[in-house]
Amino acid sequence: MNQRPIGVFDSGLGGLTAVRQLRRLMPSENIIYFGDTSRVPYGNRSRETILKYARQDTRFLRSFDLKAIVIACGTVSSNCLTELRAENDIPIIEVVGPAAQRAAAVTKNHRIGVVATRATISSGAFANALGASLDLMVFSCPCPLFVPLVEEGRCRPGDPVIELVAEEYLRPLRDNNVDTLVLGCTHYPLLADVIGQIMGPDVALIDSGAEAAGALQTLLSEQDALAEREKGSASFYTSDRAADFQRLAALFLGKDLPVQAKQIDITAY
C-alpha cells in the first residue's frame, strides 16, 4: 500500500481525460493535476521548448511527495520521455507505449492510423512504438487545429467547424482503410463522437490517456503500491486563470467532480 498522491500533467486541459480514467479505475487514489494553460499548445513548438516546459511541469509536481507521475500529454510523452525518466527517481507513465500496445492488439487488418499534434507525429514515437510490436502499416496525420477547437468547446457532432476540419484530416486515413485509430493526443477523446462518425463504426478508437491510466494501475498493483482509502481526492493547478480552467474542466471530467483550481507561476520552477 502507498498513500502518496499521483501527479498528472498536460499542456492544458486535455490531460483531464486521463484523470477521468484514473478516477474510474482507481477511485482511492489522490491525484494532483497541473495544466499549463498559459503555454498551451505545446504541439506546435520545438523539442527544446517542449522539454523546457515539461521539466518545469515535472519540477512543480515534484514539490509534492508523489509515488508516480503520469505524462498525460502525447506531445511531451513522445518528445521528452528519456530525459524525464533519467531525471526522476519515481515511475513515469506516458501515453505512447500503452496506446501503441493496445492498437497492435486490436487491429485485425494491421492498418493503424495515428492522429496527434505536429510535434508528436514528427517525433515518430508512435510509428516507432507500433513498428516495434508487429508487422503493421502505420498512417500518421498531424491535426493542429483539433486542440484549439477542443479548448474552445467546439467538439460536438453537429458543429460545422469541427466536422469540416475533422473530415479534412481524417479522409486520407479512412481511404487507407485503417481499422484502428490511435487518438495520440489527450485532447482528442473529446472528439470521439465526431471522429467515430467520420471513420465509421468498424474503426476502433484508442484513447491514449485511458491506456496510460490502465498501465499505471497495472504497475501500482504489481508493486503493491495502490492506495487504500474510501475516496481519493483531486487537486488542480493551472498556470493561467483558475476560473477559465474550472469552466472548461467539466467538459473533460464529466459533471461528477467539482473542480477548484489554483493558479501558480510555472516559470518559478
Using rule CB under 6 A, residue 20 touches ligand DGL: no
> For ligand DGL, which is the closer residue by CB, 18 or 66?
18
> For ligand DGL, which is the closer residue by CB, 41 or 179?
41
Using rule CB under 6 A, residue 123 touches ligand DGL: no
Centre a 10 Å sphere on the Cβ of residue 100 and count the other Cβ atoms it contains.
Answer: 29
Using rule CB under 6 A, residue 41 touches ligand DGL: yes
* 109 alpha carbon, distance to own chain's centre: 26
- With CB under 6 A as the contact rule, the residue among 5, 7, 35, 43 that binds ligand DGL is 43
| Helix, strand, coil percentages for the chain (3-state, nearest 5) | 50, 15, 35
The binding track of 180-209 with respect to ligand DGL, each residue x by CB under 6 A or -, is: -----xxx----------------------
Phi-psi region of 205 (alpha: psi -120 to 50; beta: other; left: phi over 0): beta
Of 211-250, which residues contact ligand DGL (CB under 6 A)? none
In angstroms, the CA 122 to CA 97 distance is: 16
Using rule CB under 6 A, residue 73 touches ligand DGL: yes
> For ligand DGL, which is the closer residue by CB, 43 or 91?
43
> For ligand DGL, which is the closer residue by CB, 187 or 227?
187
Residue 253 amino acid letter: L
Of 80-119, which residues contact ligand DGL (CB under 6 A)? 117
Which of the residues 80, 143, 155, 185 is marked catalytic?
185
> For ligand DGL, which is the closer residue by CB, 184 or 227?
184
In angstroms, the CA 55 to CA 72 distance is: 14
Q: From 212, 210, 209, 230, select the one nearest 220 (Cα to Cα).
A: 212
Which listed range, 35-43, 158-166, 236-244, 261-269, lies at the site for ligand DGL (CB under 6 A)? 35-43
Angle at 24 between CA 220 and CA 203, to 5 degrees: 100
- Long-range Cβ contact pairs of 218-222 (< 8 A, separation 24 or more): 219/68, 219/91, 219/93, 220/2, 220/26, 220/67, 220/68
Residue 243 amino acid letter: A
- With CB under 6 A as the contact rule, the residue among 40, 99, 149, 182 that binds ligand DGL is 40
Q: Is 185 labeled as catalytic in the residue annotation?
A: yes
The residues carrying an active-site annotation are: 73, 185
Binding site for ligand DGL (CB under 6 A): 10-12, 14, 40-43, 73-75, 117, 120, 147, 185-187
